[in-house]
Amino acid sequence: MPNSKKSKQVSNQQHVTIVPVEPVKGDNVDTVAYSSRSRISGESGHLIADVQSPHAKKHRIIFDRDHNVFEFRLLDGSSKHLIVYRLDELLSTTCFPLKINSGVPVIPTKPVTSDKTLYFNFVYKKDKQKWRLKQIPVVFYTTSERDYWHSLIDTTLRRVKNRPKNIIIFINPFGGKGKAQKIFKDNVEAFFWLTPGLRYKVMLTERANHARDFIVEMPPEQWCALDGLVSVGGDGLFNELLSGALLRTQNDAGRNIDDPNTSHLVTPHIRFGIIGAGSANSIVSTVHETNDHATSAVHIAIGSECNVDVCTVHQHQKLIRISANAISYGWLGDVLRDSEEYRCLGPVRYQWSALRTTIRHPIYRGIVQFSLSHKENVNPKDQLPPCLDPCPVCQKPQGNEKYDYHWHAEFTHVICCVIPTVTPFTPHGLAPFTGIGDGTLDLALVPRISRCHNMQFMRKVAMYGGKQLYELDSSLNCYRVTKWSYQPDSDQDDPGVWNLDGEILEQPKDEPLHFKLHPQLISFFGRDAAMVKPTKRSFIKKRKSSIVYQ
């Protein structure tokens, strides 16, 4: 290390100290600041060393532990040659060089240690969405000085409280046309291998609900020691992890998750991560705005965090499913049901089944009941057409005490979005208003429309997204709700099915399903900037005709 005299000279020199910019989220959302997440209690001051670049140019490296930043300064008398990185961006340091392919590191088979060189492995934003890794070699004057810096930084990174320490990675070996394991090995594992203090266990799922059952039956000491669950597969595998963790947490806390009227469920102590290796990968595409595997791995490794809403589905006072994505009924539900017969086609099966379902043109008659969020500024009474006769709720003297509004109609689509729902088919998002963790559900209701109109409707969703579609298509009625229910009319031979996070949920013929929002119930390994500020309506649709309500 430099002597005290040299350190005193450096401290008297004027240099730039960069304070990390705090992230900003949507309204009523708790934000964990970068500086507080990465701060190491009891550590302060500056660590300074004079070093060289591999080209023998003299530099000075300063570790500002008050603000958790690294400054790399070229000693040529110019204040312009200064590079600053946050501690959040430092994945690790190594004493050996890494092979890096397009920003993705490769685990070395036989690392070759350098004598005096310390390699700083920083993650950086390659473009608007994607993150990659780059390596900065720093040559110290002595090996002992290099080892001191390496040990100190390694210890510091292990003590950063937001970074995961113990995670389980579930891989669906059949996900991504059987390429899920290769995706993990080639694009993900090296980031975890490089992260100091991170222990990870890989499990291959062998059957449906294998991951959920494993989590529920996990020994208490193993469960408490975990701080992350990661899925490498599609939205269905993530749903297994989500369901298992929530069931386990509520059972341990003595909460009745079966009761749809339960207002406060307990948040699991672990965070969730997804490496998208399925067909749609809508959850990871929404949280990160990309399905890039390396980007997902980076945010897991450095411990990025955002809070996400969850919706529970109940029947007969019993929990049947949990969703953190989108729930759709009618045409979209029938497309998924039909596509199950053509899984061998891969993602193309959805286009094929969409054509088949459009020809069949399913219409379902039923009653939707809902209660609005306090963020909703539209009165459904001013918009919705009258109920079809006979309406069971309209015939009741006091209506329904559980919900504030209802609509009995023939539906082409009933869609509920927990998150904006970005997919390859809806790149601009399916939801008109809801964000990530904003405490609302978007309930979209589309009454009976023609085949041609439905084709135009779906084309506009893909081209413009839900927000612009709401302004373009008068048939779409959308409200921000906190709970709702649906019950089909009993005289229909086929009650239809639901597309819940890419998995089929059968609709009971004579019973309603109840849907309940739980705001910010889970934490996700997702970038803070992914928090989408809730969208406000640019205009309000007028009522199409008179309507009778309870």
CA–CA separation, 406 and 386 (whole Å): 10
What's at 210, amino acid-wise?
A: H
Q: Is 494 a catalytic residue?
A: no
The tokens of 43 are what?
């550590």
- Output the pLDDT for position 473: 83
Instruction: Give CA–CA dist 174/142, Å, rounded.
Output: 50
Cis bond upstream, residue 397 (ω within 30): no
In the chain, what are the domain boundaries? 8-162, 166-304, 318-520
Catalytic residue among 64, 235, 338, 528: 235
Quote the pLDDT of residue 541. 55
Beta strands in 192-253 (DSSP E): 199-204, 228-233
What single letter denotes the amino acid at residue 396?
A: K
Homologous superfamily, domain 166-304:
Probable inorganic polyphosphate/atp-NAD kinase; domain 1 (3.40.50.10330)
Residue 128 confidence (pLDDT): 83
pLDDT one digit per residue (tens) for the chain, 550 residues: 444 433 333 333 333 333 333 333 333 333 333 333 344 444 568 899 999 999 889 999 999 988 899 999 888 766 667 889 999 999 999 999 999 999 999 999 988 898 899 999 999 999 888 999 999 999 999 999 999 999 999 999 999 989 999 999 999 988 667 889 999 999 999 999 999 999 999 999 999 899 999 999 999 999 999 999 999 998 889 999 999 999 999 999 999 999 888 878 999 999 999 998 877 788 888 888 889 999 999 999 999 999 999 999 999 889 999 999 999 999 999 999 999 898 888 778 888 999 999 999 999 999 999 999 999 888 998 888 999 999 988 888 776 778 999 999 999 999 999 999 888 788 888 998 888 889 999 999 999 999 999 999 999 998 988 888 888 888 899 999 999 999 999 999 999 999 998 889 999 998 999 999 999 999 999 865 434 444 555 545 544 433 333 3
Q: What is the CATH topology of the domain spanning 8-162?
A: PH-domain like (2.30.29)
pLDDT at 27 (0 to 100) = 35
- Chain-centre distance for alpha carbon 126: 20
Q: What are phi and psi of 2, to 5 degrees?
A: -60, 150
Start-to-end CA span in the chain (Å): 78
Report the distance separating Cα 193 and Cα 300, nearest Å. 12
Neighbours of 162 (CB within 10 A): 16
Q: Give the Cα separation of 350 and 333 in Å (integer).
A: 11
Q: What angle do CA 35, 134, 285 make, to 5 degrees?
A: 70
What is the pLDDT, as a whole number, of residue 115? 87
Which fold does the domain 318-520 belong to in CATH? Tumour Suppressor Smad4 (2.60.200)
